[in-house]
Structure 1
Amino acid sequence: MKKHTVLFIGLSMALFACKQNSSNDKKDLPESTETQEVAVTTTQPVIDSLVIKKHLYTLASDEMTGRLPGTEGMEKATQYIENEYKRIGLKFYGDLTSYRQEFEHNGIKMSNIIGVLEGKSKKEEFVVVSAHHDHLGVKKDGEGDTIFNGANDDASGVVGVLSLAEYYAQKGNNERSIVFVCFTAEEMGLVGSKHFGKDIDASKFVAGINLELIGKEPKTGPKTAWLTGFDRSDFGKIIQKNLEGTGYKLYPDPYPKFNLFFRSDNASLARLGVPSHTFSTTPIDVDADYHKVSDEAATLDTRVLTETVKAVAKGTESIIEGKDTPTRVVITD
């Protein structure tokens, strides 16, 4: 009986000591969070070169077998882009029930991949950020490397679309809605972008930001890019203004004889009056990899690709935020 009493007294003293220590500890703590302001740390949006490299090497891998519409490789690329849209939190476009805008062309089932970041005060005004995710597939004959990986043309542009989608989603200050589109079958004659443009109200689309071949340093030098159709609207001048003081410069297209304004997906929207232009960096007049099986991820400079995506983000900022509206394009030729 005495043993039980001693044990009880010991336990009581231990519990009292714990209670006292707990009370003393509380004296050293700040007031309840119910009555104090809690500091919230916000994460600044980042365009990460490591993520850019991951996207590039995935989309331009042999596993994608050249991303020809209607092939298993193209389906893998489509699924990769869809998963990224979902991870970022983009919404479906219009009445679509998935990220795919499906259609058929010359007996081939294909799809544009579209995700939307809704705007705030100007929700019904749209800015398109685009690139094409298709390429040329596999050579029908020959030995050795037979896969047209299309790293620069245009996995680099798709990398830009994904990176900008994540950047704008994190930033969260887009007053206008942003429509991110990876167009299919550009290499077949702008098929995907033409299909997209068929049913839109072009008057609601205030700008088109198209990205193509942005993974190599241009002949205009480091930290530069060039823009197709520079004189067809004041879109380029807005970008130049926003880039002032950054050390990055935007130039008009240095290849007027190639008629590049009409050779990429921006043209499908531009023909509807939308100030839609293509950013590029590649010196295409001397590029040995254009439409060759040698267009592989290892031939690109991820530093150039990262710098270009950052410059596009900064350059288009005032358009995304609804502060600037480019003049419309008038096509007479």
Structure 2
Amino acid sequence: MKEFSLMLLSSLAATFSFAQTSADKVIQVKEVERIERTLSADDMEGRRVFTPGIEKAAAFIASEFKQTGLQTLNNGGTYLQSFSMVRPKFLGVNCSFDGATIDSRNVIVFTCQPELTINEHSGYETVTVAANDNIRSVVGKVLNGNKNYLVLVDTSFGHLFGNLTRMKSALFKTDKNVVFVLTTQKPTAYTITAKHEITEMKLANVVGVLTGKSKPNEYVIFSGHYDHLGINTRNMINNDSIYNGANDDAAGTTAVMMLAKYFKALNNNERTLIFAAFTAEEAGGFGATYFSKQFNPDEVKAMFNIEMIGTESKWGRNSAYITGYEKTDMGKILQGNLEGTGFNFYPDPYPDQQLFYRSDNATLARLGVPAHTISTSKMDSEPNYHKASDEIGTLDLDNMTMIIKAIALSSRGIVNGKETPSRVDTAGLK
């Protein structure tokens, strides 16, 4: 038994040594800088959605995935996971409850139809938001409910009601409609007509795949968002109007691309690995939302979302934090695999900022997936956050490279199917 134990320890040590050596060979600062510099260059124009800049960034990521040797999702022949968004421009609305006219400012219509007319015979499900209800929860449920709804919102929410218009600036294409009315009435008869100018626009995630050897239907996702804020001439810094987004989130996207190279070179993943560069995170997380609907969440065993790892964490170099650390045991698994490396993963030190819900991990986490974001950003004192000054010159590329290596090494048990994080308890999520 003693001899067997020594052999086992020797084997484990050799495996770790091989993985670490491979990480050092593949994940090098020179390559990290090349990718980061390309994504955050001025000619990407800040990678804002619906601009030539983001299309150029997507083409670059796709070409890198092809060069790495990744497969396309579902063998679809393209790394671009395209989907449509609709931008409805409001033109007008008329509403009457039991013959009485409702002020148009108290009616907000979510629709992808240029002209909409409904009444009490249209089959809409009526939902009431009472004064003591959680309006955010109700709004989230009806907008994702795939039904036609008439939502009667108590007038005590008048100060929040107008915020709904921001949420309809871009919608997933659907034949379902949701009508919100700020009122204390519960009508027996109603008529609502609305007109919008509808513009359909295309967006695309960039997705590459390494099929698992023995567990192809178990998925591990590595992700980051490649969009940013584009060009803003109103808030220029030193006459610079391009929001390059070097840290947010060219850094995370660079990490995803480097991890793809690493695991392709290692060539021993038992589970299927998905490498996803999401679009439209800054616009509302639309890319991750669409992506999450293409998978059975029970088959997704872990998600490593990587966001803003280009600067030192509050603990200094060779460290990062994990949002929602307490919601699963994934953080403990990762740290356990880094024993002896000098690198540390910590729980999110900024719980008041609700970072777990503010990045692309949230969509899959709400489906029970152990989905977390890894970051180093000092969110209480990040001088370049959402500014034109977020450029490659502000990043610590050596430290960023070490973080990518740490993610590679810490994830190996999950990638190989030997470790599986606990699921997120969705009952307590927002």
TM-score class, shorter: 0.7 to 0.9
Pairwise CA distance, 1:284 = 1.7
Residue 97 (str. 1) matches residue 97 (str. 2): no
Pairwise CA distance, 1:48 = 1.1
Partner residue in 1 for 2:53? 73
Q: 1:150 aligns with which of 245, 265, 269?
A: 245
Partner residue in 2 for 1:36? none
Distance 2:78 2:347 in 1: 37
Aligned AA for 1:224? S
Distance 1:290 1:235 in 2: 28
Name the SS for the 1:188 alignment partner.
Answer: coil
Residue 232 (str. 1) matches residue 327 (str. 2): yes
Partner residue in 1 for 2:37? 57
Counterpart mapping for 1:305-316 below 5 A: 305-316=400-411
Report how many aligned residue pairs link the two structures: 291
Counterpart mapping for 1:246-257 below 5 A: 246-257=341-352
Q: Is the 8 A contact 1:69 1:108 kept in 2?
A: no
Pairwise CA distance, 1:302 = 0.2
Aligned AA for 1:84? E
Q: Structure 1 pair 87/95, CA: closer, same or farther in 2 (3 Å)? A: closer
Name the SS for the 2:73 alignment partner.
Answer: coil
Q: 1:133 aligns with which of 200, 207, 226?
A: 226
Distance 1:141 1:158 in 2: 27
Q: CA deviation digits over 1:235-290, x for unaligned, max 9?
A: 00100100111000010000000000000000011111110100001212111000
Structure-1-length-normalised TM-score: 0.85
Q: Is the 8 A contact 1:217 1:281 kept in 2?
A: yes
Residue range with higher mean Cα deviation, 198-207 or 76-85: 198-207
Pairwise CA distance, 1:140 = 4.2
Unaligned runs of 5+ in 1: 1-42
Distance 1:314 1:207 in 2: 15
Counterpart mapping for 1:1-333 below 5 A: 44=22, 45-94=25-74, 96-105=76-85, 106=87, 107-141=200-234, 144-331=239-426, 332-333=428-429
Aligned AA for 2:48? L
Q: Which has the higher strand share?
A: 2
Distance 1:284 1:103 in 2: 32
Aligned AA for 1:132? H
Distance 2:219 2:258 in 1: 19
Q: Hey, which bits of structure 1, 4+ residues long, moved more than 6 A?
A: none
Name the SS for the 1:279 alignment partner.
Answer: strand
Pairwise CA distance, 1:301 = 0.5
Name the SS for the 2:273 alignment partner.
Answer: strand
Name the SS for the 2:58 alignment partner.
Answer: helix
Distance 1:180 1:268 in 2: 16
Superposed CA RMSD: 1.2
Q: CA deviation digits over 1:32-74, x for unaligned, max 9?
A: xxxxxxxxxxx94521110000001110000000001111111
Name the SS for the 1:69 alignment partner.
Answer: coil
Q: CA deviation digits over 1:182-213, x for unaligned, max 9?
A: 00000011110001112311111000000000
Unaligned runs of 5+ in 2: 1-20, 88-199
